[in-house]
Structure 1
Amino acid sequence: MTAASPKKTVLIRADAGGLLGSGHIMRMIALAQALRQRDIKAVFISVLCHPSMRERLQKEGFRHVLIEDAEVGDTRDAQQTIALAKELGGEWIVLDGYHFDLPYQKQVRTPGFKVAVMEDNDHCEEWYADLIVNQNLGTEGKVYQNTLTEGKALTGCHFTLLREEFQAYPEREKAPAWPPKRILVTMGGVDSDDATGLILRSLEVTELTNLEVKVIVGGGNPNEAGLQKAAAKSKHRVELLVNVTDMPSLYQWADAAITAGGSTCYEWMRYGLPAAVVTIANNQEPIVEALIQKEAALSLGKIGHLNETAAAKQLQEWFKEAPRAATNPLVDAHGARRVAAYLDTKLIISIASAKDSWINPSIKKFIQTLSENGHEVVWVHNASEAPPSDILFLLSYWKIVSAAVRAKHAHTLVVHGSDLPRGRGWSPATWQILEGCNRIPMCLLEAADAFDTGDIYLRTQMKLRGDELIDEIREEQTAATFRLCEMFIDQYPAITTRGIPQEGSPSEYPRRRPKDSELDPEQSIAEQFNRLRVADNETYPAFFKHNGHCYTLKIERMEAPE
């Protein structure tokens, strides 16, 4: 009996507690969950970790190793991290923390190990990493000085790491009430500066009354007792929630959020929730600046320079204005899946096609090629039956796929045979051939609520001579289709940031019907050759009417007789 292949392992080096907060480990939980979905084991390594975070990792089912006799980021830390990597057999070491500087990166990137570094605020001038990930708003296309010339960077909100619970909840079905009646307050897992208390006191100073306020208190927050007293005396209905694990339901409940300016912002952005932010650490300044530029949130200011009176005045004015809200697609729930796919090197792919489509025999060969390249592929004829994937390709699939189904996949992609937005609709290649075209544009685009309206990633052309019959046309169309799919796969996940919205005046082709294959017996064959050659001899044959009868006319290529 052949022994089962050992699971891949990824080592995650991150800390939590004290001034470090809990954000680094929380977003690494998101990556670890995405790795687990790919059957890759994640092991956490820390020098510092608050007991509440260790308990959280245990509940999540992740192994956690605590390094002793070391300071965060020092040589002993790096040495023990490498020793654990060798012991556990990890291929990748992921570093999430601003103390992991250039010397540390060089120490841990030893032969046999690759290094990925999470980056938020240029904590290094120079890098030594196989992968740099910056998940932050406004960083798309950022270039790093990386000593490893083969190193890559994944930048922007397409790579924001949100935990898997954010995939299980739908988008908000209706806009939040405004002025808000329900307010969610969360200032991170530690909040040593008591920004939470400042916000509660600010809400007391406002003229607003009878608000419902839910306050999230992290396990490392030293001010819980004082917050309980403030909640009990408040003129509003204030509820304190400790060590919350179901954040999505709270974002769904709230009309507005008041939060720290860290990675929590990407959670409420996921739900399009209006928010005000307090900058409680220097590393949050770039995020807050980007939110202001996008007009996605109100900045209340920086802790230490903010008092209750000033905050209350800003909040009161904010409630009178139109709400500022970050809306999709700034952030989706698949950033962790995209980063995990890069670490994995293989993709999880679903393909959906109509059960009776002409492309199905070619899909079998395409799947074989993808499997030989190491990808996992599932083929279905009902898109709702496709398991969660990195990519769901809709190939010759004629149904609208709901947002709920698309949300299961990082990307749901369609190949369409026209120069979008011109030529949306049905059988665009056939209609263009009937118009006399021999150069048929082909687009790979994101599926959307309406047919053929999503962002376009790639374009190519199907080149015809003008004498091909239906089977040959389909061969060319299939080749162009798979070429686009393979290009997207080869460039994944970096290509996911390159979708371009459609521009220009749209046009639409109607659905072809059997009557569209009717010939005019008064016209010559040459005049109607395009209509003949796009007709399917089996399902939609060309036909003509004569003397009260209907006749089928089939066309096949043959050698010219001598």
Structure 2
Amino acid sequence: MSTDVASAYIIASNKEWHRTSFEALKEEYEGDWYWVSTPDELLEAVTEIESPRYIFFLHWSHHVPESVWAQHECVCFHMTDLPYGRGGSPLQNLILRGHQETVLTAFRMVEAMDAGPVYAKRGLSLSGTAEQIYRRAGELSTDIIRSMIAEQPEPVDQTGEVVVFKRRTAEESEIPDGASPEILYDFIRMLDADGYPHAFSRSGQYILRYTDAELHEGELKASVVISLTGSERSTSEVKQREKP
């Protein structure tokens, strides 16, 4: 166990796969550790804790009020080499731009989105499915948390050209017409994570959703779930309904 002076830490994430990292950190370091996954839990935690040392936002899609980020040291993790790639859907925007590697940036939350000073940067591979990449980023975030607790770094202002990404909508998950197998492979895998709108196409009254893409020698294979438009019924359920 660490010999650091005991402090209070909050881990904020709405992805359950970060829970393992939280439990590991809780075991490794003295102090009070809090896990929050909703805005209400976050507000409850900052009310209960007089002065948390850090609030780490591993994966957070909710608004954080000024009363939180202005009064506490809130650390965010963004999957680009900031200030390049500020904004939404960083993973998907990176893959669409042909990136195979990126940088995970830990920075302090300020009023402007993704504009705060930087604590640390670490290289991150963009291979695999979206969920595999997110989990890899979570492990890397945990390593950065360890170094921050040990070193207590002062963040430095971002430098370089600001490039802003646009947040993607669910409708933009429809696969493009005429794309090569390589492009389709990237398109499917960049959306292949629990809780995300998977790549899809339309065929008459059906919607086809794609996951588990594999590319071998120019041949693309993927798992497909077929549903009636506006329905969550799977292929097997549709077939069962159509039996005489």
Q: Give the TM-score normalised by structure 2.
A: 0.75
Counterpart residue type for residue 390 of structure 1: R
DSSP-derived class of the 2:116 partner: coil
Equivalent residue for 2:182? 526
Q: Report Cα offsets for 1:2-36 as digits up to 9, x if no partner.
A: xxxxxxxxxxxxxxxxxxxxxxxxxxxxxxxxxxx
Counterpart residue type for residue 448 of structure 1: V
Q: Report Cα offsets for 1:294-351 as digits up to 9, x if no partner.
A: xxxxxxxxxxxxxxxxxxxxxxxxxxxxxxxxxxxxxxxxxxxxxxxxx962331012
Is residue 400–residue 450 contact of structure 1 (8 Å, CA) maintained in 2? no
Is the aligned partner of 1:442 residue 2:109?
no
Equivalent residue runs for 1:269-348 within 5 Å = 345-348=5-8
Is residue 420–residue 443 contact of structure 1 (8 Å, CA) maintained in 2? yes
1:438 Cα deviation (Å)? 1.4
Equivalent residue runs for 1:21-36 within 5 Å = none
Is the aligned partner of 1:425 residue 2:87?
yes
Percentage identity across paired residues of the two chains:
22
Work out the CA distance in 1 between the residues paired with 2:7 and 2:69: 17
Is the aligned partner of 1:367 residue 2:22?
yes
Counterpart residue type for residue 384 of structure 1: L
**Structure with greater contact order relative to length (CA < 8 Å, sep ≥ 6):** 2
1:353 Cα deviation (Å)? 2.0
2:35 to 351, 371, 379: 379
Q: How many aligned residue pairs are there?
A: 207
Q: Report Cα offsets for 1:180-202 as digits up to 9, x if no partner.
A: xxxxxxxxxxxxxxxxxxxxxxx
Counterpart residue type for residue 87 of structure 2: G
1:524 Cα deviation (Å)? 2.9
Equivalent residue for 2:136? 476
Is residue 444–residue 485 contact of structure 1 (8 Å, CA) maintained in 2? no
Is residue 469–residue 534 contact of structure 1 (8 Å, CA) maintained in 2? yes
Is the aligned partner of 1:553 residue 2:210?
yes
DSSP-derived class of the 1:555 partner: strand
More strand per residue = 2
1:521 Cα deviation (Å)? 4.2
Rg (Cα) greater in structure: 1
Work out the CA distance in 2 between the residues paired with 1:459 and 1:344: 23
- 5+ residue gaps, structure 1, are 1-342
Is residue 80–residue 90 contact of structure 2 (8 Å, CA) maintained in 1? yes
Is the aligned partner of 1:458 residue 2:120?
yes
Q: Give the TM-score normalised by structure 1.
A: 0.34
The change in CA–CA distance for 1:385 and 1:408 in structure 2 (over 3 A counts) is farther
1:485 to 145, 167, 171: 145
The change in CA–CA distance for 1:533 and 1:344 in structure 2 (over 3 A counts) is closer
Work out the CA distance in 2 between the residues paired with 1:391 and 1:368: 16
Equivalent residue for 1:543? 200
Is residue 400–residue 451 contact of structure 1 (8 Å, CA) maintained in 2? no
Equivalent residue for 2:57? 394
Is residue 431–residue 509 contact of structure 1 (8 Å, CA) maintained in 2? yes
The change in CA–CA distance for 1:552 and 1:344 in structure 2 (over 3 A counts) is closer
Q: Report Cα offsets for 1:156-179 as digits up to 9, x if no partner.
A: xxxxxxxxxxxxxxxxxxxxxxxx
The change in CA–CA distance for 1:550 and 1:461 in structure 2 (over 3 A counts) is same
